[in-house]
Amino acid sequence: MITCDVVVVGCGGVGSAAVMHLARRGLRVVGLDRFTPPHDRGSSHGRTRMIRQAYFEHADYVPLVLRAYRLWSELEQAAATKLYHETGLLEIGPPDGAVVPGVMAAAARHGLDVSQLSANDVRRNFPGFVVADGMIAAYERRAGYLRVEQCIAAHLDQARAAGAVIRSEESVQHWNATGSGVVVTTDREQYRANKLVITAGPWAATLLEDLNIALHVRRKPQYWFGPAAESYRADRGCPAFLYETRDAQRRDAGVFYGFPIVGPEGLKCAEHSGGGDVADPLNLNRDVDDADLGRVRGFLNNSLPGVTTTLVDHAACMYTMSPDENFIVDRHPRHNQVVFAAGLSGHGFKFTSVLGEALADLATTGSTELPIGFLGLKRFQS
């Protein structure tokens, strides 16, 4: 039996940040992962993750994302590496859609620097993008991408430097609350700790089974295409993009996103909406799905016609959807010594730096000054 102050289960996006924050507070922390993070088996791989401030999903995320930007910058300085690349972000959609009106509302509420554009403005300023008459757009300058695997590696390096022990290729089978502490059983060891942090991504439902939260895992492919016109390169001013097509108003389909060309792998593009159910995240189908690829190619042909839709690379990933598509970050209602983040619903990576800090607060003091109240379990109680 190994004893420590805190066990963190899962050292992916959120867990790597939590381990670092906890270790920096002088605690004896053990981070456990069934793979060797950063890895491509969970939800945090594929080179890039979008980061943006004017949050159309829910304006309450804005203060959290602003704190996340600051923490990413501090991590870059501590690790002496560049993680955030500011490319700007072009968001396009119908005037009665969810994206552009939501972006403009969040920007107005929080005083963010976002410009609303007409279809003609987009054609003039971003000639690589085709926009139908009647669509509108928003341009956010303080947005871009994070290098996802490097972010996790940097958090884990900093965690180790602060004294944390990261144990890879070790799978947690179950945990038990014992008095005010926990016992965590893996396929190799048992750990006794005062606190437990669960950040298991697509496997959260298994480790938080007793909470009975309906978490659904979706298969989400990512694609890289090329060659493409020079105007789609980040160093030629091409922004990241998020495009809500008219289809998105009728069904869960037709929201596409992507990143400008930043390396030999070409332009990344994928569909944010939809995705097949994943019954067992350990057995995710990683093959190319022709129907899914066809939809992304169709979008590119219509909207970014200067990109050749020859596939250069692909990767399958997973979204873990909560019932309302907002994260769930809280203490376990029956075991105060257990805290967790789950159901990041396909938009959580940009927040992982701040969620790690929030979990460290919850685990050490039982509360946090970070504005995460809207992400609590309570909202499902009614």
Catalytically annotated residues: 45, 48-49, 268, 272, 317, 350
**Kind of pairing, strands 29-32 and 165-167?**
parallel
- Between the CA atoms of 278, 279, 282 and 287, what dihedral angle is there, to the nearest 10 degrees? -40
Q: Is 133 exposed, middle or buried (0-12, 13-18, 19+ CB in 10 A)?
A: exposed
Least Å distance, CB 51 to ligand FAD, is 6
Question: What is the rounded distance in angstroms from the CA atom of residue 205 to the CA atom of residue 224?
Answer: 31
| Residue 251 one-letter amino acid | R
For residue 58 the two structure tokens come to: 């829910």
Q: Which of 20, 50, 62, 184 binds ligand FAD (CB under 6 A)?
A: 50
Least Å distance, CB 340 to ligand FAD, is 10
| Residue 291 one-letter amino acid | A
Least Å distance, CB 304 to ligand FAD, is 17
Number of neighbouring beta carbons within 10 Å of residue 212: 8
Query: Which part of the chain contacts ligand FAD (CB under 6 A), choosing from 43-51, 105-113, 296-304, 360-368?
Result: 43-51
Which string of x and - marks every residue 262-281 that binds ligand FAD (by CB under 6 A)? --------x-----------
Q: How many chain residues are in contact with ligand FAD, going by CB under 6 A?
A: 38
For residue 245 the two structure tokens come to: 């097509």
Is the Cβ of residue 126 or residue 175 nearer to ligand FAD in the bound state? 175
Q: Which of 4, 28, 35, 311 binds ligand FAD (CB under 6 A)?
A: 35
Give SS3 for 169. coil
| Residue 346 one-letter amino acid | G
Residue pointed to by tokens 């190319």: 288
Binding to ligand FAD (CB under 6 A) within 5-24 occurs at 9-15
Which residues touch 293 (CB under 8 Å, ≥6 apart)? 221, 223, 311, 314
Binding to ligand FAD (CB under 6 A) within 313-352 occurs at 317-319, 344, 346-350
Give SS3 for 310. coil
Do residues 167 and 32 touch, judged by C-beta distance below 8 A? yes
Which residues touch 283 (CB under 8 Å, ≥6 apart)? none
Least Å distance, CB 15 to ligand FAD, is 6
Q: Which of 47, 49, 110, 155 binds ligand FAD (CB under 6 A)?
A: 49
Q: Which of 94, 102, 128, 201 binds ligand FAD (CB under 6 A)?
A: 201
Question: What is the rounded distance in angstroms from the CA atom of residue 93 to the CA atom of residue 255?
Answer: 9
Using left for φ > 0, alpha for ψ between -120 and 50, and beta otherwise, residue 139 falls in beta
Binding to ligand FAD (CB under 6 A) within 101-140 occurs at none
Residue 39: in which H helix or E strand, if any?
none
31 binds ligand FAD (CB under 6 A): no
Is the Cβ of residue 133 or residue 271 nearer to ligand FAD in the bound state? 271
Is the Cβ of residue 35 or residue 118 nearer to ligand FAD in the bound state? 35
| Residue 283 one-letter amino acid | N
Q: Which of 64, 156, 200, 362 binds ligand FAD (CB under 6 A)?
A: 200
Least Å distance, CB 34 to ligand FAD, is 4
Which residues touch 127 (CB under 8 Å, ≥6 apart)? 231
Question: What is the rounded distance in angstroms from the CA atom of residue 74 to the CA atom of residue 347?
Answer: 22
Is the Cβ of residue 134 or residue 189 nearer to ligand FAD in the bound state? 189
Which string of x and - marks every residue 146-185 that binds ligand FAD (by CB under 6 A)? -------------------------xx-------------
Binding to ligand FAD (CB under 6 A) within 214-243 occurs at 220, 222
Least Å distance, CB 318 to ligand FAD, is 5
Using left for φ > 0, alpha for ψ between -120 and 50, and beta otherwise, residue 45 falls in beta
Query: Which part of the chain contacts ligand FAD (CB under 6 A), choosing from 34-42, 157-165, 261-269, 295-303?
Result: 34-42
Is the Cβ of residue 229 or residue 374 nearer to ligand FAD in the bound state? 374
Residues engaged in binding ligand FAD (CB under 6 A): 9-15, 32-35, 37, 41-44, 46, 49-50, 171-172, 199-203, 220, 222, 270, 317-319, 344, 346-350
